[in-house]
Structure 1
Amino acid sequence: MADYYEVLGVDRTASEDEIKKAYRRMSRKYHPDIAGPEFEDKFKEVNSAYEVLSDPDKRRMYDQGVDPNDPNGGGFGGAAGFDMGDIFGQFFGQSFGGGSQGPVPRTQPGRDSLANVTIDLRTAVFGGTAHVDIRTMALCPDCKGSGTANGSSPVTCPDCKGRGFAQKVVRTMLGQMMTSAPCERCEGHGTIIESPCPSCMGHGRIRSKRSVGVSVPAGITDDTRLRLASQGEVGECGGAAGDLYIDVHVAQDKTFVRDGDDLHCWIEIPMSWAVLGHDLDIDTFDGRRGISIPAGTQQDDTVTLDGLGVTRLRSQGERGDIIAHVVVVIPRKVTDKERRLIEEFAESHDADAESRHVSQGPKPRQAGKPRGFFSKLKDALS
């Protein structure tokens, strides 16, 4: 049989507070997230020791030479591998004979919270800090979580004498039996707050609004959920806060459309730039950058700016690209002189053009008469 006192490092005469303090110290020391996964068995051993020594009845059994955690450890409830109290509990919905019952701690852990925040595309590209306002339960500033007023302390319940439950005898088909239920006066806590804090009414927490800063990683995608440990709801009577989960949404940008780590944009240029070529500057999240439109650029051709897209998540600063789609603007109105020049160019440039099938994407374009660039322009102006 394991020596649970030795596991927790306490004497056999240790008080409940000493056992609790020892357990907190040992659980922090051997928690797998802190000490490493190789201490998982040791951590389980510490929990088993505390489970027995923190319960008066189980501790009494252990001191008499019976290990309550050993299904073959002997005794009325353990020799056959089952607990009679569990069986009667199924009949009455309560613990049989008071068993392992005890006062319910007033301090309870808080629940997790959920909030939403919307960021712009620039923040998704580079990362940053977003701020979200949340309304949740926070520590009462007046009583600091104790739930009592003027520095007073809870007093022992006179009805249950601090046990947290009351016993009574009931008649059953098996005869008279002792059952237990939470004390109605103290609600199972074993203590009563005679002077509750007027701000929180004895709960040790109040509903409060606060702003939380959220660290947004570069490259984050839309509808990503982030976790902020211990930033959620504070528990009853100052219990440990739960976690806060933030659902991050990326707003649509007026200039760029995101596709993975690439950013797509569309730039309009006059037809003369498409024919002759041209250098120009466009706006990016890194400032103005120059691009070159090569001579003979066609409608929907693209120009790529390497490394100016979205930061790749969990990379060493690598980024996607900006892909600029060219939109050639054909004038709707021209002067007579401009029309004559275009017609002259069309006669010399498109005179030998032939009909041919062309396609763009999955849908083929209709074939017809010669479709040189300036033929299209001439049609548009006619």
Structure 2
Amino acid sequence: MSDPAGVSASDLAAFVARALDRCGLPGEDAAAVAELMTQADLTGADAHGIFRLPQYVRRLEAGGVNPRPAIRVSRTAPATALVDGDNGMGHLVMKRAAETAIEMARETGVAWVGARRSNHAGPAALYASMPLAAGMIGLYSAVASANHMAVWGGSEPLLGTNPLAVAIPALSEPPVVLDIATTVVSYGTIKNYALNSRTLPPGWLIERATGEPLLDPKRSSEGILQPVGGYKGSGLALVLGLLAGTLNGAAFGRNVVDFNADASSETNTGHFILALDVSRFMPLAAFGEAVDRDLQGLKASQRMPGVDVIRLPGSDRERRVRERGRNGIPIPAPLLADLQALAGRLRIEPLVVQKEAG
């Protein structure tokens, strides 16, 4: 395989903004989505950043996403609110939801904000991390934009990879940022493997008809993803789907629209975000010191043979942001070709690369 091209964060964001502007998003909205997509790539969520742009463009062009939504926030109680995204870009909907949760939590100590009539919004950690800057803990989940998992014991894909992300501030240590799919691997990773013609490891995907391992990512439509932790992952996906989907009047189960196969239908994607003000329990600095102490104790604990370093959720995220900010965001050759072709079709300036692939 060719070496990936390196693209600066600023050039990547500018390219995404140009493409979304061409698809009808107002300039401010296009820039906001571009910033969040670039942040996904900077943190290493490679299946949820620029990789998704061609798909977003297809849905915008086909009318599946409203480029100029009137996003509405209804505050239903002192600590709860519901956001109607008017079928807008999920990044815009969840940015508004997170901002609302933070604002409310400043008043009440904790806030839960649900969202409906949204769309795919990128990696869960983007939104769980937003409360960190306000000295808060964030928790986020969503109904995935397609069903790729069966309820435990079933063979019909009626559950999504429904992610769960939690972000907890520290003081000198990197914040703890856990972002997991409820399947062994996200479907975006399967698509990335297909794009790069890579064979899947056993245990990720099984054939619906036989239950046997499915190793060809280009045959993923014939399979179902395996839940993390067996029946526990299936149960967690179900619970998160009810909280992010059913509770908000959003899609769940058979009502989920596969945005990979359907570019024109409204998906009615549901999400929720919770913001918790640390200072309602103890001073933020004291909590940060305690978290640092606990994390440092875990990292210094005895290691298994062959393990050089104990890594905690969020530590690699911080490292990747530094490295990619310095060296550029890697874009695999097949994806770069798709993006440059997209630029030609949209009649926008192509993506600027710092070094050519190969």
Larger radius of gyration: 1
TM-score above 0.5, yes or no: no
Higher relative contact order (CA 8 A, sep 6+): 2
Q: Report the TM-score range of the alignment, normalised by the length of the smaller protein.
A: under 0.3
More helix by share: 2
TM-score (ref. length: structure 1): 0.19
Question: Could you say which structure has the higher strand fraction?
Answer: 1
